């Protein structure tokens, strides 16, 4: 059953790679504007959960509802369109395109969905100002610091105003000061735009930026508040 008011909800997800289940009956939900930290030991199924929720990986069974639609029965084309238009992604290593300038990187998701170059770059610059990286717009990703690169990656994830932002260890490659800055900017921007955030992390100080924490253990999700 989908929890009332949730934007994205998964029920009883199962996914195996070989004999050991990565997800073993995992349920999860997030509301618009809510930041949920997904914690748990390495290998417990956190990334698999994120990839299933984002429609990157197909679960073996279980249901995923997004805005009232069933993600598990959508075609690959429908899911990829959803990822492009309604979901944003930030990974541990920004995964910026090295040949493009930082501004071009941020503008890229808009360009891919047909926005004209001028308008895409104008919106990109607004987000870069907000993430405090407007001054590195002309530089390539290889020429900026790790913290700047990750803020560029956050700007790129938010430039399409996604309804859900998926972040998998977004500060895993940063020192603690840069990590804190990225988390503050990311969560402020998400809350302002009422985006839901699924934040995978194994660090308590990163999870501290969330509204709610869940723990994944052996492919199952436990709510920190006690409710399963
Ligand atoms: P976490 O993100 O908590 O570290 P993962 O979701 O990455 O955990 O992995 C959960 C389990 O599934 C692990 O045992 C891992 O080895 C396995 N696994 C994840 N992705 C794959 C894959 N693409 N191929 C094979 N096994 C995988």
- CB atoms inside a 10 Å sphere around CB 15: 21
Q: Which two tokens stand for residue 18?
A: 């070989």
- 6 Cβ inside 6 Å of ligand 1: no
Tell if the pTM clears 0.85, that is, is over it. yes
Residue 104: in which H helix or E strand, if any?
Answer: helix 102-112
Residue in 14, 16, 17, 216 to alter for ligand 1 test, most ligand atoms within 8 A of Cβ: 17
Tens digits of pLDDT across the chain (228 residues)? 567 789 999 999 999 999 989 999 999 999 999 999 999 999 999 999 999 999 999 999 999 999 889 999 999 999 999 998 899 999 887 789 999 999 999 999 999 989 999 999 999 999 999 999 999 999 999 999 999 999 999 999 999 999 999 999 999 888 899 899 999 999 999 999 999 999 999 899 999 999 999 999 999 998 876 444
Residue in 22, 54, 166, 219 to alter for ligand 1 test, most ligand atoms within 8 A of Cβ: 22
Do the Cβ atoms of 7 and 185 come closer than 8 Å?
Answer: no
Do the Cβ atoms of 137 and 128 come closer than 8 Å?
Answer: yes
């Amino acid at each position: 059953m989908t929890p009332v008011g949730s934007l994205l909800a998964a029920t009883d997800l199962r996914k195996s790679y070989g004999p050991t289940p990565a997800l073993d009956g995992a349920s999860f939900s997030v509301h618009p504007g809510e930041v949920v930290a997904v914690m748990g030991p390495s290998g417990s199924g956190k990334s698999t959960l994120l990839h299933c929720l984002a429609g990157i990986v197909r679960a073996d069974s279980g249901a995923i509802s997004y805005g009232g639609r069933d993600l598990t029965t959508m075609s690959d084309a429908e899911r990829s369109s959803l990822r492009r238009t309604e979901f944003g992604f930030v990974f541990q290593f920004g995964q910026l395109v090295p040949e493009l300038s930082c501004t071009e990187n941020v503008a890229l998701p808009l360009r891919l969905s047909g926005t004209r170059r001028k308008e895409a770059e104008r919106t990109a610059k607004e987000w870069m100002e907000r993430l405090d990286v407007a001054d590195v717009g002309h530089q390539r990703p290889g020429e900026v610091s790790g913290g700047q690169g990750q803020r560029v990656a956050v700007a790129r994830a938010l430039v399409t105003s996604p309804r859900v932002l998926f972040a998998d260890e977004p500060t895993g490659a940063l020192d603690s000061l840069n990590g804190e800055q990225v988390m503050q900017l990311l969560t402020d921007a998400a809350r302002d735009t009422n985006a839901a955030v699924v934040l995978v992390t194994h660090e308590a100080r990163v999870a501290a930026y969330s509204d709610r924490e869940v723990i994944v253990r052996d492919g199952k999700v436990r709510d920190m508040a006690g409710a399963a």
